[in-house]
Chains A and B, each alone.
Chain A
Amino acid sequence: MAEMILKKSDLAEFVKSLLNDYQVLAPVKEDQKVNFAPVEDGEFLLDFQNTFSSPKHLFFPQSEKMFEFSTDRADEGACILKEAGKKTPPRVVFGIRPCDAKAFQVLDKIFRNDQYSDPYWFGKREATVLIGLGCNHPCPTCFCTSVNCGPFHEEGLDVLAVDLGDGLLLKPLTEKGLKVFKQAKGLKPADDQAGEKAAVLKSEAEKAITSKVFTDQIAQRAVMELFEAAHWERVHESCLNCGTCTYVCPTCHCFDIQDEVAGAVGDRVRNWDTCMSWLFTMHGSGHNPRPGRKERVRQRFMHKFKYIPLKRDGEIGCVGCGRCINLCPVNIDVRDVVRNMNA
């Protein structure tokens, strides 16, 4: 199916036509921060930089119930775990930035390996249609073009929307995207001019990204050579090991599994966890393989820029969204670290 135009004045009609079969989520402003929330009309943002925290919580909530159980010994089924969690209803998420969509793609390769597949992640992924919004004006801290991504990148999206001014040019990319197209109202066929305008916006956006890092040397060097480099001695000095970077990052995925009990019933829950915490690798015996800040800070960058590419066909564990740069309380800049790794 060809590309379609959705005029901004028809946004409400578009959304309403989907509400029968899908929940629709779009960027709205809550308390000064932009986040995805359910909408029922066209009242949402198209003019924003990016959401405050990454949208990975759409598929990987910060706290998620995995199983339920009873601890009452009298109960025959006690101590046997029953799968919990509501099934995710079909939903359309509008306004995902290409960097965040690319991150979902990277995480797809992590939540599924050659033997196991994470049903909690994929259950939500299968139920969701992602309509991305190209970045006409990337942020000063974006460096997506350096990490296999870009302001109009299509990987991970079902539809790509480009803001032409008075309307959006929508390009279907997958079967799921096409299904939404067939059902939605308010779409009109696009002409060649629209396509040309979008192409110009794309190349201007890519030119506007001035932040660049190179990862070619990192890809060539052996793990131990990168691991034993001298610059790690200085990077960690100011790090607070607070975990902010890991929580706002769209590709960070490490989690903890805990059992929580209240009386005679309990849940097995998974929560986001962070390699910045000393508890992350602590053995019961008291031995800690990553005892200090240096080891933990080094681990995060090595994992994202060396180990993930090694294990996942060259995918880099960073999409250049810049959230960690903006939110790190001590201004540890990932771009500087990568430059040192690549030097």
Chain B
Amino acid sequence: MQNPYQPYPVRIDKIIVETEDKNLRTFRLVFLNPEDEKAFNYTPGQFAELSLAGYGEIPIGIASSPTEKGYLLFTVNKVGSVTSALHNMKEGDLMGVRGPLGNSYPLKELEGRNVVIIAGGFAVTTLRSTITWMLDPAHRDKYGKIIFIYGARTPGMLLYEEEWSAWQKRDDIDAYITVDREFPGWNGMVGFVPAVTEQVGPSPENSSALVCGPPIMIKFTQPVLEKLGFSEEQIIMSLENRMKCGIGICGRCNVGPEYVCKDGPVFTLAQLNQLPKEY
């Protein structure tokens, strides 16, 4: 039986610097062994442990969608010793990927519903996976109206410009991209994500909201959604916590009885309200 702590070997195929401060890079990873790629069956919302021999592992949401074949995308923020080592790597270097881990966004339950996707900062990564998957011709008609609200501090800090520019041109998704303040050269929306959400005013009728962002954004977006009429069960969030094993054993990422790495990272607000706020 496969040792669950053993990563699949992968090669860094491409590195894209996403933001102007260069602290966010997207890594396109390719499996060395085709049978590993076959085994790595993932769904949007899941994450993987990126393994750098000699440094350690980091849990990162999978940004690519399973509809994108032949590679995996991960967008990584440079914060500590492992992410710094990863940022120093070059195209062609080898590393490891362990996963897919965690639960995913409840795409089956969302079928037939309208979906509001609200993202702040670089928490948009797994939502890129989700939207790409939902917009794929094979899946699009399973869902109702799709609204996407995404904000960052400045235009230079917005991720995935190619993707969201294309989405803004489509008519099967309403994409609202905003930055916190006026910025020279920016002709798009201006305002914090909670304020833009209130402005857009999505209807809670047969809707679910996927919310992912920094704690401060969540703190102010939640009341907006509640005012609009979204119930606790209709609001879905993805948590982050410090992790090591990623498979629900080492006990580090627990929030109450739930393991963020295994019972999460996706939880409804109803579930979270029954749990200690230790995340």
Contacts and interface: CB of A to CB of B under 8 A. Distances in A.
Are A and B in direct contact (Cβ within 8 Å)?
yes
Interface in A211-225: 222-224
A117 B4 contact: yes
A282 B279 CA distance: 10
Contacts of B264: none
Contacts of A261: 54
Interface in A253-281: 253-259, 261, 266, 268, 273, 275, 280-281
Nearest to A227: B276
Contact of A259 (B9, B56, B83): B56
A295 B83 CA distance: 28
Interface stretch (B139-147, B150-158, B185-193, B252-260): B252-260
Contacts of A116: 4, 247-249
A188 interface: no
Nearest to B255: A289
Interface string B30-61: 00000000000000000000011111110000
A81 B6 CA distance: 7
A283 B240 contact: yes
A255 to B, nearest CB: 5
Contacts of B94: 78-80
B80 interface: yes
A253 B279 contact: no
Contacts of B262: 113, 115
Contact of A83 (B3, B51, B95, B249): B3
B276 A275 contact: no
B218 to A, nearest CB: 13
B242 interface: yes
A254 B248 CA distance: 11
B127 to A, nearest CB: 19
Interface residues of A, number: 51
Contact of A310 (B56, B241, B257): B257
Contacts, number: 127
A259 B249 contact: no
Interface residue SS majority, chain B: loop
A80 B96 contact: yes
A285 interface: yes
Given A117-B1, A310-B257, A275 B251 contact: yes
Contacts of A48: none
Given A257-B250, A281-B278, A71 B257 contact: no
B242 A253 contact: no
B274 A222 contact: yes
B5 interface: yes
B266 to A, nearest CB: 16
Interface stretch (A39-47, A95-103, A299-307): A299-307
Given A227-B256, A256-B244, A303-B251, A81 B51 contact: yes
Given A81-B6, A81-B7, A83-B3, A259 B55 contact: yes
Interface string B197-227: 0000000000000000001000000000000
Nearest to A306: B257
Interface in B230-277: 240-242, 244-245, 247-252, 254-257, 262, 274-277
Given A66-B5, A255-B244, A266-B54, 16 more contacts: A79-B9, A79-B53, A80-B9, A110-B249, A113-B249, A115-B262, A117-B1, A118-B249, A223-B256, A223-B274, A224-B275, A268-B5, A275-B251, A287-B215, A289-B279, A302-B256
Interface pairs A-B: 10 shortest CB-CB: A254-B251, A284-B79, A307-B257, A284-B80, A69-B53, A289-B278, A116-B247, A116-B4, A79-B53, A310-B257
24 contacts: A69-B53, A78-B53, A79-B9, A79-B54, A79-B95, A80-B94, A81-B6, A81-B96, A113-B247, A113-B262, A116-B249, A119-B4, A257-B5, A259-B52, A259-B54, A268-B5, A281-B241, A289-B241, A299-B278, A302-B256, A303-B254, A306-B257, A307-B256, A311-B257
